[in-house]
Chain A
Amino acid sequence: MDAKQLSDGLATRFPGKILGVDPLDGTLGRIRFDPAVATDLFRSLRDDYQFTHLTLVGATDWIDHREVFYVLWSDTDRLYLVLSANLPTDAPVIASSVPIWPSANAHEREAWDLVGVKFEGHPDLRRIFMPEGYAYHPLLRSFKIHEPEDLEVKVRSD
């Protein structure tokens, strides 16, 4: 399988929802997709193209939008594939990939905790690195680092 084959196949299956395929070193390529078809695209890639393993899920804050990216691994073709989707800053919501690849669980919690991307359908979307009740997503560009002297310490002890 090459990138051309894959992008043609996906374009006929999801017309207008595959926004582009870029070359990326060490992988089959990077597919940019519309977040509206996320679940169907994930299921198709797992069942029809044998991308059975999800290596990581990450997110980035680009100030005017946020980007979610997925790295997939195919055992049959021994190839990596990168997916990416742009989300609006005011509603950074995308369907969860946990029902298709359970290994996404902790990765999506991390992306929610640090960058504030909401994954709809995640079974347990709690914070993972920061304590429960923390008010910020610290890897957003808008996050201000507090001077330690200004900290107001409120810790629940139970």
Chain B
Amino acid sequence: MSGQAPEVPRPAVRPQTDASPAGDLPLAVIGQPGVPFVEIETLRAREFIPAAKEALSSLLKEQAQGKLIRPVFNWAGRNSLFPLHWGLACCAIEFAAAFGARWDAERFGVVPRSSPRQCDLLIVNGTVTWKVAHKLIALYEQMPEPKWAIAMGNCATGGGPFRTAYSVVPGVDKLIPVDVYIAGCPPRPENMLDGILRLEQLIKERGE
């Protein structure tokens, strides 16, 4: 292992109407061309909170509040997805491994919570039977908006090897709307992280 790390190009997200002071590149810029935008500079943690407060309060004073505030919540929401800690079958083992030390899904802001009322992401990790179907729907309905769902593994995606069985739901999309499907039996934790990152991309594109 020697010397110089390769130079990683930073994403050029600065818009044309550049009003920020010259100097360091901003960490991220949220906004659309032609409208005011919030700029979040590379800040220390203790400077971040007052800066974010000031940015948000100045935005709130704007007349078109909803339109301006939406990208901020989109950025914050997609980078802190809280899935429900709910294991159904063997996929739950891979789900748990993804949050362990080796794969560490928390570096993407994904933190499993134990109550559906604190969650915005439902990862259905396993075989859903008809007996448990109405509990799955109840959990989904208890989650506050906006919310998303991932069908993890072949069973949740389409029933898997139990597709024609009398007791198994052939695909969890028969019960709730699903945003991302992850194939595999079970999928490896890398696949799960890929699915979560794809969902983040999807949320960004939809502007939810």
Q: How far is the CB of A123 from chain B (nearest CB, A)?
A: 21
Give A143's nearest chain B residue, CB to CB.
Answer: B166
Q: Which of A12-20, A31-39, A100-108, A149-157 contacts B (4 or more CB under 8 A)?
A: A149-157
Contact of B131 among A129, A146, A158 (CB under 8 A): A129
Is B174 in contact with chain A by the CB < 8 A criterion? yes
User: Number of B residues contacting the other chain (C-beta, 8 Å)?
Assistant: 17
Q: Which residues of chain B are within 8 angstroms of A157 by Cβ–Cβ distance?
A: 134, 137-138, 141
User: Number of A residues contacting the other chain (C-beta, 8 Å)?
Assistant: 17
> Do B170 and A148 have beta carbons less than 8 Å apart?
yes
> Do A155 and B131 have beta carbons less than 8 Å apart?
no
Evaluate whether A138 and B166 lie within 8 angstroms (CB atoms) in the complex, with A148-B171, A157-B141 already known.
yes
Is B167 in contact with chain A by the CB < 8 A criterion? yes
> Do A130 and B131 have beta carbons less than 8 Å apart?
yes
Give A136's nearest chain B residue, CB to CB.
Answer: B166
Give B166's nearest chain A residue, CB to CB.
Answer: A138
Evaluate whether A148 and B164 lie within 8 angstroms (CB atoms) in the complex, with A153-B174, A155-B175 already known.
yes
Give A157's nearest chain B residue, CB to CB.
Answer: B137
Is B133 in contact with chain A by the CB < 8 A criterion? yes
Is A145 in contact with chain B by the CB < 8 A criterion? yes
Q: Which residues of chain A are within 8 angstroms of B141 by Cβ–Cβ distance?
A: 157
Q: Dominant SS at the A interface?
A: loop
Evaluate whether A156 and B159 lie within 8 angstroms (CB atoms) in the complex, with A143-B166, A147-B164, A148-B164 already known.
no
> Do B133 and A131 have beta carbons less than 8 Å apart?
yes
**Segment 81-135 of A: residues with Cβ below 8 Å from B:** 129-131, 134
> Do A131 and B134 have beta carbons less than 8 Å apart?
yes
Give the residue among B130, B134, B166, B170 with the most A Cβ atoms within 10 A: B166
Q: State the B residues within 8 Å of A (CB).
A: 130-131, 133-134, 137-138, 141, 158-159, 163-164, 166-167, 170-171, 174-175
11 additional contacts (CB under 8 A) given A131-B133, A147-B164: A130-B130, A131-B130, A131-B131, A131-B134, A145-B164, A148-B164, A148-B170, A151-B174, A155-B137, A157-B134, A158-B138
Q: What are the nearest 6 A-B pairs in CB distance?
A: A148-B170, A138-B166, A157-B137, A157-B134, A155-B133, A153-B174
